[in-house]
């Protein structure tokens, strides 16, 4: 399983998982770090999907990937795996997200 398995090869998300219940978010760095409150980082369909998000930075992206925590301290959806990954690989992953 890779990031692209859920978020797509372009990182744009909008793929439905778990029988259409979970919409995967756009994980491109430009989207995650945007201050636009209309940008959604992922949600369960029954929840309000117009809440926007606090912008991610490199540190909070690493925290989301490894601990499943949003920048505001709230947990990410449980469908998001918590990855065990080295700091160097995390840095490389973030640099890759910046290219999408």
pLDDT recorded at residue 39: 46
Please write the tens of the pLDDT for every residue from 72-93.
999 998 889 999 999 999 999 9
Question: In terms of Cα–Cα distance, which of 27, 31, 33, 34 is closest to 9?
Answer: 27
Q: What is the domain partition of the chain in residue ranges?
A: 3-99
pLDDT score of 69 more than 90: yes
Indicate whether this model's pTM tops 0.75. Answer: yes
Question: In terms of Cα–Cα distance, which of 88, 53, 91, 87 is closest to 73?
Answer: 53
Please write the tens of the pLDDT for every residue from 8-57.
899 998 776 666 677 888 999 999 999 864 444 444 333 334 446 789 99
């Amino acid at each position: 399983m890779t990031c692209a398995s859920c978020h797509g090869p372009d990182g744009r998300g909008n793929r439905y998982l778990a029988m259409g219940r979970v919409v995967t978010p756009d994980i491109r760095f430009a989207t995650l770090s945007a201050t636009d409150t209309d940008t959604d980082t992922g949600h369960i369909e029954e929840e309000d999907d117009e809440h926007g998000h606090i912008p991610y930075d490199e540190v909070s992206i690493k925290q989301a990937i490894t601990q499943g925590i949003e920048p505001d301290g709230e947990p990410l959806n449980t469908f998001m795996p918590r990855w065990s990954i080295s700091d160097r690989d995390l840095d490389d992953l973030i640099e890759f997200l910046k290219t999408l």
